Amino acid sequence: MEMALIKDDLWPIVCEERLRPERPAQDVRQWDSDARKATANIMLCLAEGVEQHVKGTRNPADLGKKLQKLYEQKGYSSRFFIRKKFYELRLADYAKSDEENAMSLYINAHRSLCQQLRSAGAIIDNETEHQVLLFGLGDSYDSFVIATTQSIRQSDNDNQNYIDVEHLIGQLLDEDRRQKGVRLGVTEPVEIGSSSTGSALYSNRKRSWSQRSQSQQSQVDKPRPICNYCEREGHKQDNCWDLHPEKKTEFRYTKHARLAAASIALASAGIPPGERDLF
């Protein structure tokens, strides 16, 4: 509402920075016209049922004061009901109505309630804001929550500045895109050390052993290639180490590089060393 009034240069009338002039008549008529526009904009923005609380008020400044008193109470009751909404916030509630934009709607609602609590006089620190945002994610984000909390636990837990809510929001949006890609069967390359890497790797623990056995069985059923040079199975002549000994060194280097990259990704996700052999 405030932004709409600012856009039309009507906000100074509502906050009484621009008072009604006494003369000349042209300026008076202009002020009256702008005041009516401000009142109309405010009334059109009111939610259903709110109009009865300001019924009969047509002065935009008086209208603004009544609405401020109605919505910006700083008492215990106001903080109680806002805080109740804050802690009951769930991503699944937004997914029911708009699954595609559920994460953005969830984050916007979270930030709006944080602002309402602060306006009502409540103290909301970074840790509380961070934790409540994680609380409402749901089961599909369990691996993400574990990786995030592990990474914070390994840092200075007493340092409130370390818990960065803006960084968490960026991670959530990345993870949301990753999960949408998985549901659609689309995989995207993930940068080592990015927010989604640890969660993606950690979620692999949920893959059942039966699925792995099926994958291994399908590989066994495939016909194995035979090298025309050494006549051994398992490779073709282009990759024969007897014919191309330099490829043996290249393979060892690539294997070690992959293992090092995976180790870095797991470490950045905060996964303890003892659990890394599960991947």
* CA–CA distances in Å: residue 268 to residues 106, 142, 150, 161, 238: 26, 17, 10, 19, 38
**What tens digit of pLDDT does each residue of 129-184 get?**
999 999 999 898 998 998 888 887 766 555 544 678 898 999 999 999 988 888 77
* CA–CA distances in Å: residue 261 to residues 62, 220, 255: 64, 28, 10
Q: What is the pLDDT of residue 110?
A: 93
> Nearest 5°: phi and psi at 226?
-120, 130
Contact by Cβ (8 Å): 230, 160: no
13 within a domain of the structure (yes/no): yes
**What tens digit of pLDDT does each residue of 265-276 get?**
555 555 555 554
Contact by Cβ (8 Å): 234, 112: no
148 within a domain of the structure (yes/no): yes
Q: What secondary structure letter does DSSP report for 157?
A: T
Q: What is the pLDDT of residue 262?
A: 58
Residue 137 and residue 53 share a domain: no
For residue 64, give its domain range. 2-71
Q: What is the pLDDT of residue 197?
A: 46
Average pLDDT, the chain: 76
Interhelix angle 25-45/60-71, rounded to 10 degrees, is: 30
Residue 119 and residue 92 share a domain: yes
151 within a domain of the structure (yes/no): yes
Residue 163 and residue 112 share a domain: yes
Distance, CA of 40 to CA of 18 (rounded, Å): 18
* CA–CA distances in Å: residue 182 to residues 109, 187, 203, 250: 26, 6, 12, 32
39 within a domain of the structure (yes/no): yes
Q: What is the pLDDT of residue 34?
A: 92
Q: Is the pLDDT of residue 253 over 60?
A: no
Residue 64 and residue 86 share a domain: no
- If one compares 265 and 227, the residue with the highest pLDDT of the two is 227
Contact by Cβ (8 Å): 193, 268: yes
Residue 174 and residue 108 share a domain: yes
Q: What is the pLDDT of residue 267?
A: 55
**What tens digit of pLDDT does each residue of 90-118 get?**
999 998 888 889 999 999 999 989 988 88
Q: What is the pLDDT of residue 279?
A: 46
Q: Is the pLDDT of residue 61 over 80?
A: yes
Q: Is the pLDDT of residue 127 over 80?
A: yes
Q: What is the pLDDT of residue 276?
A: 46
218 within a domain of the structure (yes/no): no
Please say whether the dihedral angle defined by the alpha carbons of residues 36, 42, 47 and 53, taken in this order, is positive or negative. Answer: negative
Distance, CA of 92 to CA of 99 (rounded, Å): 9
Q: What is the pLDDT of residue 31?
A: 92
Alpha helices, H only, 154-190: 165-184
Residue 84 and residue 57 share a domain: no
**What tens digit of pLDDT does each residue of 196-219 get?**
444 444 444 444 445 555 555 555
203 within a domain of the structure (yes/no): no
Q: Is the pLDDT of residue 73 over 50?
A: yes
Contact by Cβ (8 Å): 8, 41: yes
Q: What is the pLDDT of residue 109?
A: 92
Degrees (nearest 5) of the Cα angle 96, 99, 102? 95
* Ramachandran assignment for 124, one of left (phi > 0), alpha (psi -120 to 50 degrees), beta (any other): beta
- If one compares 237 and 35, the residue with the highest pLDDT of the two is 35
Residue 56 and residue 81 share a domain: no
